[in-house]
Structure formats: structure tokens, C-alpha cells
Amino acid sequence: MRAATAALTGVVLALLAGCGNSGRPPAGVLGDPERGKLALSQYACQACHIIPGVTGSKIYVGRPLDDLAKRRFIAGSLPNDQANLVRWIRDPQAIDPHTAMPNMGVSERDARDMSAYLLSR
């Protein structure tokens, strides 16, 4: 009986692990989401944003970055796709000269990985 219960528990846990968001970016999104998660921390993005899976305080300076993939626009005007998200992360003032978001000197690779992470949440 214990063996059957343990086996059933294992099956249930395996099925639950497959439910919900797998953490993989949608088809066509390039980059390494796990590296992107690390880059978001290294650039201290959590100092202004609430980011799913990235430890930080509940700060409400910048917009929360959960469900970013479901949004139609980035920064209020850019169509939401990976290329525009990378542009925004790398040089926000080029898109909106009055934005409070600082230019953090994010590299192309880091921005691609960060966008892959954010679009996979």
C-alpha cells in the first residue's frame, strides 16, 4: 500500500510540474531565460520593478513586470515583441526621452536574455 501511495504521489508531482508556465520562452523568442533572470538581478532591475521569480522588495517605482508577454504595448507605445523589448531595455530614452527608466548600459546579449526571461513568465 505504501509503495502504491508513493508511486501515485510521484506521478501526481510529475504531472503538476508540467502544469502552468514551463519557463520556456514562446516560439520565436531568442535568448537564455535563466541567464536573463541572473542579468535582471545583476542590473538591479528589482530595485524599481517587481519581477516574477526575482527576489526584491515590493517596490512600486516602475511597472510590475509580471505577465509582460500578455501586454500589447511596451512603454505605452511600442508593439510588444522581443525586438522592441530589447530596444527599450538597452536605451529607454531613445524611445521616450522623458522616461524615468535609466539607461543601465545593458549589452545586446543581456537584453536579449532578459527579454527571453520576461516573455517566458
As a CATH number, domain 23-119 is 2.60.40.420
| Residue extents of the structural domains in the chain | 23-119
Do residues 37 and 54 touch, judged by C-beta distance below 8 A?
yes
Query: Which residues of the chain, if any, have pLDDT below 70?
Result: 1-23
pLDDT in tens, 75-96: 999 999 999 999 999 999 999 9
Q: How many residues can be counted in the chain?
A: 121
Could you give the C-alpha distances from 92 to 31, 40, 86, 103, 106, in angstroms and in order? 20, 16, 10, 6, 11
Do residues 99 and 90 touch, judged by C-beta distance below 8 A?
no
pLDDT in tens, 101-112: 999 999 999 999
Q: Is this model's pTM higher than 0.85 or not?
A: no
